[in-house]
Structure 1
């Protein structure tokens, strides 16, 4: 028994069979009809490939070679297509680069042709890119051009003046609610006007006047301006112990006149530069009028004060019956003057009654007024600055009557009441809840501008 038999699990054989097998293996030709002997594996056969496996490997290698031979033409075709795409892209880029290089030359050629064939454009107004930038003082956009009056009687647009949704910085908000709270003074004045407007019939609206007069709130006990330990603008309600002393000093009055004239000159200068939309900022009017006041008493009625005015030049006369509805005091200790808001009826006196009043009654007061009025439509305000001369009678040492003239200076602002009533109606119907209060704030701002101007001059 050899090592191969042990590995192949063969049993022991006798010597005769071994001899027969040896002789059979040595014979080159197998016997016919004999069954095939199983192959015996030795260590050499286990460690080395046999002939069949070698043949199989050769067959596989031949198949792989044939596959590679058939695959090479396809790869070559793909390579040619890829190279063709690269060449096409390079050619396209070359054309684009050449077009970009030729673009400035073509543009210059076209400009030279236009220059030689056309004349330069002459602008009556410089184009927007050639105009000088003129920033507004407040940094806010310029107001829109006002159009003609609409059916509601107002000549102003509905554009917001104080827009609560816009702030100067994009990362800031006006408040946590997104709404600017109204100033307390402005809201109180608006409520006061609204409460009085509710009691005015529609047919009496054209006779209503709302004006703000400059002066001082004076304590009756001390005779001096009130001191109530406040530092800012406020509404003063204690009228029982105070009275309003209307009028301003001559220096302050002239400073206000100069201020309004200065605004007009600046506006006209801007107009010559093409920066102003209108020729004049104000509609200016001068008047010289003599007012005479008469006390008219009728049975079972309260006495009425009639004012009859006479134009100093034309001698034309007209009469007004003024009836005070309500007053509101605004105290501003940080400025030179306080304000008194007055809401009144001004009923015209028929011309047929003027002559009887003048001939039958003596005037209780005479005032000669030289007034200059500046009407500013965009802020619905008229500025009336008046120099008043009031005759004062006295007697000299000999008992002879002498008439002197007391000169005083008055400043008052009058709001456009039809426009204010229009805002009132919009608020009442709910169509616009901001317009009415906005008009009140504009009116008060104009008064503050004059007051601040005089205060600034006095502090120098």
Structure 2
């Protein structure tokens, strides 16, 4: 077969091979970049092999890298006949808006939440400090070093068969805390009141330290007696001075036995306390207590009680706690017509006082009726003799009477608390 035969159909070649040959020749003549992108008829091109386009090689899936979604960039057959390239793609403005929308959504999700008011869990802890307590604490700190220098840090010599390294017994920390607190207040009051002996009152109230949150007695992670921080007490607690009737009776039975042994003396009084207010010349308003002795029928006694400081001792092993209070009882000579009643509130008190002279301690057991109520409330207080207290205070440095007297006063309170805990 020669070349002439290929061009001559009469030489035995059918029409079909001629048409395929012409198609191949025609296809080769249309292979160009323009024709590949925008062919005139899809049937005139052979099937393109995968990844045989520059666009496919660079980005085979037509993914818009600047966006999280895949725009529709699919190619379609051109409907034009003039050979123009018409690649189908979305409008530029629409694509930009979609991209911005995706970015804004991402930003909103990842942006941290901002609070107008700082949440509780993110706030800094700033303890509330009572100004009066803060000033009182500062005064105590200023006097504590002076008191430590005045008293003997080794109070007693050990008389036991066993001795400490230095041969002395260290001071009791609770007693030292109370004596230091008391020293700071007495030192300040003695400078302002020359007649302090006549108006000073130091007493221990017996009751419960109650949580304001639960309205129950506090449960601290301590197992021994301890003093409470005043800021904590004022913010979180209050002191309930009422005793159970059975406990009040137990203490009374205890003192009746001591009375039989002539260790104490007893004094009984019945009084009514009423409360008034009075406005002074400079507009200062004071609260006054007017006490009437219903037994002796003596004249009414008008007193302004000025509370100066308090210290709370928690006794976790006992039924009750202790609250030490320093106050001034200032007699007032004010005409009755200038007194303004504070309602009809009154306190009727049936009191039995047991006095123990060797320890300069007086214990008051009181049945209280408030207003017109017939319900009894029971209270117990321990009070120290003011004269002996100030004498011991003035003798600090020469002897240990001051710390010994306060220690004995506290021991008397502990004896009563442990007596109640036996029941």
TM-score range for the pair, normalised by the shorter chain length: 0.5 to 0.7
Q: Secondary structure at the match of 2:395?
A: helix
- 2:251 alignment counterpart: 256
The correspondence for 2:303, drawn from 320, 336, 339, is 320
- 2:81 alignment counterpart: none
Q: Give, in angstroms, the shift of residue 321 of structure 1.
A: 0.9
1:384 matches 2:379: no
Q: Give, in angstroms, the shift of residue 407 of structure 1.
A: 1.5
Q: Give, in angstroms, the shift of residue 299 of structure 1.
A: 6.0
- 1:25 alignment counterpart: none
Cα distance in 1 between the residues matched to 2:220 and 2:284: 36
Q: Give, in angstroms, the shift of residue 355 of structure 1.
A: 2.6
The correspondence for 2:398, drawn from 431, 438, 449, is 431
Partners of 2:155 and 2:171 within 8 A in 1? no
Mark the CA change 1:354 to 1:370 in structure 2 (over 3 Å): closer, same or farther.
farther
Partners of 1:292 and 1:363 within 8 A in 2? no
1:245 matches 2:240: yes
Q: 4+ residue stretches of structure 1 with deviation over 4 A?
A: 299-302
Q: Secondary structure at the match of 2:422?
A: helix
Instruction: Please list every run of 5 or more consecutive structure 1 residues that lacks an aligned counterpart in the other structure.
Output: 1-161, 268-279, 392-402
Residue deviations 1:107-129 (CA, integer Å, cap 9, x gap): xxxxxxxxxxxxxxxxxxxxxxx
Cα distance in 2 between the residues matched to 1:384 and 1:199: 28
How big is the alpha-carbon RMSD for the aligned residues of Structure 1 and Structure 2? Answer: 2.0
Q: Give, in angstroms, the shift of residue 369 of structure 1.
A: 0.2
The correspondence for 1:371, drawn from 328, 333, 351, is 351
- 1:407 alignment counterpart: 376
Cα distance in 2 between the residues matched to 1:301 and 1:415: 35
Q: Residues 271-286 of structure 1 correspond to what in structure 2 (within 5 A)?
A: 280-286=262-268
Structure 1, 293-302 or 444-453: larger mean CA deviation: 293-302
Instruction: Please list every run of 5 or more consecutive structure 2 residues that lacks an aligned counterpart in the other structure.
Output: 1-153
Instruction: Name the larger-Rg structure.
Output: 1
Partners of 1:328 and 1:341 within 8 A in 2? yes
Q: Residues 116-131 of structure 1 correspond to what in structure 2 (within 5 A)?
A: none
- 1:185 alignment counterpart: 174
| Structure 2 length-normalised TM | 0.59
Cα distance in 1 between the residues matched to 2:304 and 2:215: 31
Q: Give, in angstroms, the shift of residue 297 of structure 1.
A: 3.2
- 2:222 alignment counterpart: 230
- 1:77 alignment counterpart: none
Cα distance in 2 between the residues matched to 1:180 and 1:348: 44
Q: Give, in angstroms, the shift of residue 319 of structure 1.
A: 1.6
Partners of 1:388 and 1:407 within 8 A in 2? yes
